[in-house]
Each structure stands twice: as C-alpha cells, then as structure tokens.
Structure 1
Amino acid sequence: MRIRRATVDDAPLLSRLAARTFTDTFGHLYPAGDLQAFLADSYAVERQRTILAHPDYAVWLLELGGEAIGHAAAGPCGLPHADVQPGDGELKRLYVLAAHQNGGHGGRLFAEAIDWLEREGPRTLWIGVWSQNLGAQRFYARHGFVHVGDYEFPVGRVRDHEFILRREAAD
C-alpha cells in the first residue's frame, strides 16, 4: 500500500478512478443520464489535468499492488459560505473503493491531505459532505470539523442537500 502525489500524467487514471468511486458511492441517487453528464463534465481528463497542473491544488492516489484504489484532493476553499476567507483550505474529495473501505486507508489519505493543507501552518479548513453520509460526518467530527452551513450540490436535475463542515485554525 502506498500513497503518492498524483502528477499531470495521472489525469486519465484519476478521471477513471474519480468517476468509479463517485458512481460506486452515489450513483444510485441519480437518473442515469444526469449521472453520466455529471461524470463527463466533473471528471473529464482535461479537467483533471488542469487540477493536477495547478500549484494551489494537490491530489493523492492510494495504490495497492499497482492499482489505484482511492484518492484525495485538496485546494483553496470554494464552498458557498459567507465566512470563507482567502487562504482557507478545503478537502475537496476523499474516496476509497468500497472493497477497500474500513481498513484505515481513508484516514491515511485524509492525513496526507490535511498535512498538505497545513504545510505553512494552521489555517481554517472546510469540507462539503452529503447530508446523508453519516459515516463521513462522524469521521470528520472526530477530526474537529463541525457543521456550519448547508448548500445544494447539483447532479443534473437532482439537488443534493450537502453540509458544510469547518475546522478552525489551531492556535
């Protein structure tokens, strides 16, 4: 098992992995056409390449036996909350394939992303999480994140009720 920082050359792999993990986790919530349009846009290879090339963003791949089984992404906070300040960071994605969950792998990816977000010192961190994803909410609460707002996350015609979580910068 290893975690490594993804490079621009990983864009096709990240595109496939992100679409697969999103579909495995949430695909049952959406009409097929809405899901496919969302995946084609949000996880397009070119979009992943742009993210991977941007100095303010980072993505990590969790690999087991040479196969990518999870990923995490972090960068500047883009959540729709009035208290977001320049310099705040956001854990944007954290996914592990279902067959590899509950083995501590998500926690390792989470730690890697948080360490990177706080590489220049403590700062306020944010996470958006589906309101019905109780396991993720418990996980983030254990790491000091609290529910501070709500927003809608569109996947085609469906609008998911999302929670905005925040952890204040440690003193």
Structure 2
Amino acid sequence: MAIKIRKVTVADLSTLKEISIKTFTDTFGKQNTAKNLHDYLEESYNDGQLKQELENDDSAFYFIFVDHQLAGYLKVNSDNAQSESMGENHFEVERIYILPAFKHFGLGKQLINYAIKLAKVANKQVIWLGVWERNFAAQGFYNHLGFQRISEHSFYMGTDPQTDYILEKSI
C-alpha cells in the first residue's frame, strides 16, 4: 500500500469540493436533518468559500492518496486562520476526512502525524482540534493519540446549534 500526501492547490478546487461533500455527508448526514445538512454544505463547501480558504496563507489542505487513489484530506490552520483564537503557539487541525472505502487503514493517524510535523516546522507548541460531542469514534481516536479536552464551542449545522469539544496536545 503506497501512501502519498500532497498539498492541494486552487487547481484542485472541484476535487476538494467533491470529496468534502462526500466525506462530510458520510460522517454526519445520518445524525442531522436533510435541510440542515444541505444548508451547511452549501455554505461551507461552495466554490467561493473553498477558494478563499485555499488562498489563505495561514491555511493549507493536503490530499492523501492510497495506491494513487484519493482517500481523504487534511486541513490545517495557523495564526489568524484558526477557527478559535488560541494564540500564536497553537496550530489547528480543522478537518480530517477519509472516504468510507479507506477508513481503518491508519490514514487518520498519518494525517495527524503530518499535521504535527507541519506545526513543528512552524514553531508551534500545541496542536488542537474540535470534535463533535456525538462523534464518539473520533473522540476515542484523538484520546488514544494523546489529545485532551480543554473546552468546547458551538458549531452550527444549518440552524441546529451543536457542541464541539476542543481537544489539544502539546508537541
């Protein structure tokens, strides 16, 4: 199994949009109303929004491939791009999404390790992320990797206010 991680560019916009919608729907679609899911996808994964995120110097996306097949992606933020004001020494993992056919191959761990490497290169001391309060599998995964819950914040799925736990790990 050959694994490759590469940075996403604006030229990859349509692929990023497609995989974002597919993986988000797979992960959260069954737990939310169709309208709230639709509204969230329209707001968060439209071409303009994704292009703006891709062009932000404090954000980066990375595709992960297994045997030359796109399997998922990572989005990281630093400094002013972080979704919460966490400080200059923090580095955010905003998204890790893996396509269903590639789950349980250890790709999430590889992407976390890649994010930690990026954070260290950027001279950050803490890596953090938000995880939905009802995503128990992800919470267990991050706990196993040494992340600890420090707080929470609201996340809106359409009109539905939900809670994300904020987890962090010193690096």
TM-score, normalising length: structure 2? 0.88
**For residue 105 of structure 1, what is the aligned residue in structure 2?**
107
Matched, 1:78 2:108: no
Query: Which structure 1 residue ranges, 5 or more long, are not aligned?
Result: none
- Determine if contact 1:75/1:117 at 8 Å carries over to the other structure: no
Gaps of 5+ in 2: none
1:85 match: secondary structure: coil
What does 1:60-79 align with in structure 2 at a 5 Å threshold? Answer: 60-76=62-78, 77-79=82-84
Of stretches 60-69 and 41-50 in structure 1, the one that deviates more from structure 2 is 60-69
**How far apart are the structure 2 equivalents of 1:66 and 1:37?**
32
Q: For residue 122 of structure 1, report the CA deviation from its aligned partner.
A: 4.0
Describe the SS at the equivalent of 2:95. strand
What secondary structure is seen at the aligned counterpart in 1 of 2:83?
coil
Report the alpha carbon displacement of residue 66 of structure 1 after superposing the two structures with TM.
4.1
**Offset at 1:142?**
2.6
Structure 1 residue aligned with 2:26: 24
Contact 2:89 2:124 in 1 (8 A): no
Aligned to 1:121: 123
Cα shift readout 1:125-168 (whole Å, capped 9, x = no counterpart): 21100112222122222332110112221011212221111223
Tell me what 1:140 maps to.
142
Q: Deviations over 1:85-144 (max 9, x none)?
A: 134210000010122111111111221122112213342221100112222122222332
Amino acid at match of 2:161: R
1:50 aligned to 30, 49, 52, which one? 52
CA RMSD after TM alignment: 1.7
